[in-house]
Amino acid sequence: MRIIEHYLEKVKDRDLVLVLPEGHDERVVKAARIIKDRGIAKPILLGKNGAIAKAKEQAGVDLTDIEIIDPKESVHLEAYIEKYRAEREDMPEGVARRLVSRPLFFAGMTVKAGAADAMVGGVAHATASLIQASVLTIGLQPGIQTVSSYFLMVIPKFQDEINKKFIYADCAVNIDPSAEELADIALASAASAEKLLEEEIRVAFLSYATRGSATGSSVDKVKTALALAKERNPSLAIDGEFQADTAIIPRVAAKKVKDDSEVAGKANVLIFPDLDAGNISYKLTQYMAGAQAIGPFLQGFAKPISDLSRGASVEDIIAAATITLAQV
């Protein structure tokens, strides 16, 4: 995909390091080989040596110049255990050892320690397991308490623009976020957009109402979330509550929003009130507008992390790695 090639040019040859905690999977091994050969990043494969050797044979690739680590045998294990326990004074050493020896936790500690810039996983782990390990190791961005997700949506032709990019959030994690969680999602999405959109960020809280045109508990939640987000980041261009057309179409915004707004009609980060709205909207955009829906990517963490579907292809892994590394 051309959009992936665009981000690949931004990350290649930067000597970034990517840790892949599922080295026993032949798709991950194949992806690691390509990531290394194309200069996207230096991959680190985690897993038992025998399992990775088997995956290498299945993939038919050479891993001679790729770093392979068995967490239980790593020279870094003791330091990572000590670092993990330093933030948990009452944790027994044996418990910390069992956790940090697991590939997901070891990968998180690799990022936490600065030995890797980002982590991509999920082909053999549930999203909840990846999130839990990442929260306990890498941690969250300062001021953020909610893990969320976003899609990078690329619309082939929107208004007068070709390949117009939007961030859609949250479309995969939080079912019915509270106002506080919705504010977190908006601020985390703005931070993600800063790395990916290469234009001024304008965040819109979406609703079935525009500036009080209708009432309801959902509208009230969005209004509260907007107020919280503005209070926490007054310099961010963020507004709402807007119906979708008001957020992205200038002529509609001009009719429905009478006061000055930096966002109305010009939003490029769309915050949905719940998972129903977000998930339905991204799929409709994908199939009815022929858009690329790249993701979902996790956000809110202190360092870039990406979750993969169990059925991810080699190309999917490479794309996720590229977009994740573009946020470093």
- CA distances from residue 207 to 184, 213, 231, 273 in whole angstroms, order as listed: 17, 10, 20, 7
pLDDT at residue 253, as a whole number: 97
Q: What percent of the chain has pLDDT over 90?
A: 92
pLDDT at residue 310, as a whole number: 86
Confidence of residue 213 (pLDDT cuts 50, 70, 90): very high
- CA distances from residue 201 to 34, 182, 206 in whole angstroms, order as listed: 32, 17, 16
Q: How far apart are CA 86 and CA 92, in angstroms?
A: 11
Domain boundaries, the chain: 2-139+301-325, 148-295
pLDDT at residue 78, as a whole number: 97
Q: Indicate the CATH number for domain 2-139+301-325.
A: 3.40.50.10950
- Does this chain's domain 2-139+301-325 share its CATH topology with 148-295? yes
pLDDT at residue 1, as a whole number: 58
Q: How far apart are CA 189 and CA 192, in angstroms?
A: 5
Q: What percent of the chain has pLDDT over 70?
A: 100
Give per-residue pLDDT as tens, 53-85. 999 999 999 999 999 999 999 999 999 999 999
Question: Would you put residue 211 in left (φ > 0), alpha (ψ -120 to 50) or beta?
Answer: left
Laid out side by side, the sheet with 42-46 consists of: 67-69, 42-46, 17-20, 118-121, 305-307
148-295 sits in which CATH class?
A: alpha beta
Mean pLDDT of 247-266: 96
Residue type, 36: K
Mean pLDDT of 284-310: 93
Mean pLDDT of 243-257: 97
Give per-residue pLDDT as tens, 139-176. 999 999 999 999 999 999 999 999 999 999 999 999 99
Is the Cβ–Cβ distance between 105 and 96 less than 8 Å? no
Mean pLDDT of 96-119: 97
Looking at every residue in the chain, the average pLDDT score rounds to 95
pLDDT at residue 13, as a whole number: 87
- Say yes or no to pLDDT of 3 above 90: no
